[in-house]
Amino acid sequence: MEEKRVSESEIALSQLMQPENANNLGNIHGGVLMKLIDEAGAMCATRHARAPAVTVAVDSLTFLEPVHIGDLVTFSARLTYVGHTSMETEVIVQAEEILTGRRRITNRAYVVYVALSGEGRPVAVPHLILGTDEERTRWEEGKRRQQARLANR
């Protein structure tokens, strides 16, 4: 099976936050952000595997700052760890105030996916080429999270 670089599967989604996504305080609902985090992570995993990928775990999701109506929100997903059939993605959420250009990181999440065959069975995924020290560090951290997930089963 071929190997792939982290950059080959990276995804960035951007969406303008509208009033229908918000609560009465003008903050975007966490569930709306969670859905878009999952979509970005799933597309990243699917791009890597070139097979459908389904969510098996949200390892962590941190809300650092609120997202507001009118913010342009970008969901950047990249692989951090790859097992035999599973893939961990890191999704970083950044909100931009369009009129001022001010940007801030609002969320960070680690989400795990499994690649599936046409029959719905897990299939092997390509190994990940780690080209930088930062990618190797993320890999080691992802490996520790995967070991903790397996130990907690």
In 3-state terms, what secondary structure has residue 65?
coil
- Burial (Cβ within 10 Å: 0-12, 13-18, ≥19) of residue 62: exposed
- pLDDT for 66-114, tens place per residue? 999 999 999 999 999 999 999 999 999 999 999 999 999 999 999 999 9
CATH superfamily of 3-151: Hotdog Thioesterase (3.10.129.10)
Q: Where are the domains of the chain?
A: 3-151
Rg (CA), the chain: 16
pTM, 2 dp: 0.94
- pLDDT for 26-77, tens place per residue? 899 999 999 999 999 999 999 999 999 999 999 999 999 999 999 999 999 9
According to the model, what pLDDT value does residue 148 have? 92
**Cα separations in angstroms, 29 against 17, 35, 49, 94:** 10, 10, 31, 15
In 3-state terms, what secondary structure has residue 87?
strand
